[in-house]
Structure 1
Amino acid sequence: MHCDVYKFPKHDDMYVYIARPDYPDDTDEIKDWLSVLPKDFRASLGVSKFVIHLDLETTPKLARVDKEEVLSKLKSQGYFVQMPPQDVMRRQAELRALEAQNNIYD
């Protein structure tokens, strides 16, 4: 199974894997690969940035997620969302709260 990985500047350390089951035969026309995402979710992500194309059959393992879980989600829904580690999410929430607190009197 081939897939493309994207990141989004508004969401540090979050990556979205998009299935490319017909690769390389799916490159004849320009496609919106992110159209498999639910519309509301996609709108909340902002502008995407392509990171890498992977052949998961030849990739031995992935850094932060279970390869079998990624494959399962790609096959069942066409995408997989890799969330940031909990410590990163906690720190981002703390920074947003501090920023909101500092801006309360602006």
Structure 2
Amino acid sequence: MRTVCDVYRSPREEEMYLYVDKREGIAHVPEKLLELFGRPRHLMTMLLTPEKKLARAEADGILKEIRERGYYLQMPPARDDEMRAIAAQNSKLQR
């Protein structure tokens, strides 16, 4: 299965992304999720195939979620306390 996907990033949460079928857009994303996610900001459009290599998610899992739910939500990676402390001390890592 191949799907042309739009990928949106959250303006509220760093590294949180929403994948949807380009033809459907965000129509199937629950309103409550959109409230928490914030106004989706378009990041890119891509052709997603099961064998496509992605950094933090399996393409076939994303395709399955889009097919069953109408969207896939990629959560930010977990940060442990030690990494938070390092980031807080390093001004180059702060925004």
Pairwise same-fold verdict (TM > 0.5): yes
Measured in 2, the distance between the counterparts of 1:40 and 1:17 equals: 16
Partner residue in 2 for 1:14 = 16
CA separation of 1:3/1:59 partners in 2, compared to 1, >3 Å: closer, same or farther? farther
CA RMSD of aligned residues (A): 2.3
Distance 1:58 1:66 in 2: 8
TM-score when scaled to structure 2? 0.73
Higher helix proportion (structure 1 or 2): 1
Count of residues in Structure 1 that have an aligned counterpart in Structure 2: 81
Q: Which consecutive segments of 4 or more residues in structure 1 shift more than 2 A?
A: 57-60
| Structural mapping, 1:27-106, within 5 Å | 33-57=25-49, 60-87=52-79, 90=80
- Counterpart of 1:55 in 2: which secondary structure? strand
Deviations 1:48-91 (A, max 9, x none): 2100101013872111101111011011111000001112xx56
Tell me which structure has the larger Cα radius of gyration: 1
Structure 2: tracts of 5 or more residues without a match: 86-95
Structure 1, gaps ≥5 residues long: 27-32, 96-106
TM-score, normalised with respect to structure 1: 0.66
Q: Structure 2: how far apart are the matches of 1:40 and 1:70?
A: 20
Identity of aligned residues (%): 27
